[in-house]
Amino acid sequence: ALDRREVYGTSGPRILLWFDLLAGNGEIARPMGGEMRTAEAPRFRIRAMGAMEQQPGCPDQSVAALGAGRLQRLCYGECYNPGSRRQRIDRLEVIRVRPQGFAGEPLAKLIDDPWRVIPCDSADELCTAEFGDPEYAGAARDTIYYVRAIQQPTDAVNGDGLRCDYDSEGNCVAVKPCHGDYRLDRSDDCLAKVEERAWSSPIYLDYAP
């Protein structure tokens, strides 16, 4: 998979993500990390599932292997301890990048981030979407696509390093930083809501008339 670049990364949680270029019959022509020479407007499919919801504490096998005392010292008694339900994927974001056609070509119009935002159905564990790029053939240039899967907000330790107080216009007017040292009480783990995410490897399209 690494040799094929058929891989993706996450911000930590074990989110599942697939990103594929589709052939005309709907089958997979190239998975993420793939390359293809084409002049036809491409069509893609994204599928994503959130990470398993964490249960408090550690599973029995971890306690049996290391002991409760050691787990408390190592990780404050919290381990990877997945439940039976998954977090919800909130939305999918598509990023489109067109490499420079000549040295010095301005980058601002070449990077669309995000190019598309696709909301996910809150009732479905699997978020899936198909989309095309009708502008590809007319642009007649190489194009790169990758996607992000954004999970519903969840609490994270040190999720907000500044802990801003905001005014009525949304400006940060005061901070209570999470220093992570003697300046904070040991019980203060700076919990804050974050949107965990997964990033796919890109799919590379070489324009070839």
Judged on CB neighbours under 10 Å (0-12, 13-18, 19+), 27 is exposed
pLDDT tier for residue 200 given thresholds of 50, 70 and 90? very high
What pLDDT is recorded for position 158? 86
> What confidence tier does 23 reach under pLDDT thresholds 50, 70, 90?
very high
Residues 6 or more apart whose Cβ sits within 8 Å of residue 207: 37, 38, 39, 136, 139, 140, 141, 142, 143
pLDDT above 90: residue 157: no
Q: Which residues are within 8 A (CB) of 166 and not within 5 positions of it... i.e. 6 or more apart?
A: 172, 173
> Tens of pLDDT along 104-121?
999 999 999 999 999 999
Quick one: CA dihedral 115, 124, 7, 129, positive or negative? negative
> How high is the pLDDT of residue 103?
92
Neighbours of 46 (CB within 10 A): 25
Rounded CA-CA distance 18/199 in Å is 10
pLDDT score of 181? 85
pLDDT for the residue numbered 126: 96
pLDDT of the residue at 180: 80
Q: Which stretch of DSSP H or E encloses residue 199?
A: strand 197-200
63-90 pLDDT tens trace:
999 999 999 999 889 999 999 999 999 9
The yes-or-no verdict on residue 50 having pLDDT over 90 is yes
What does the pLDDT look like over 129-139, one tens digit per residue? 999 999 999 99
The rounded distance, in Å, linking the Cα atoms of 140 and 94 is 20
Start-to-end CA distance of the chain, whole Å, equals: 30
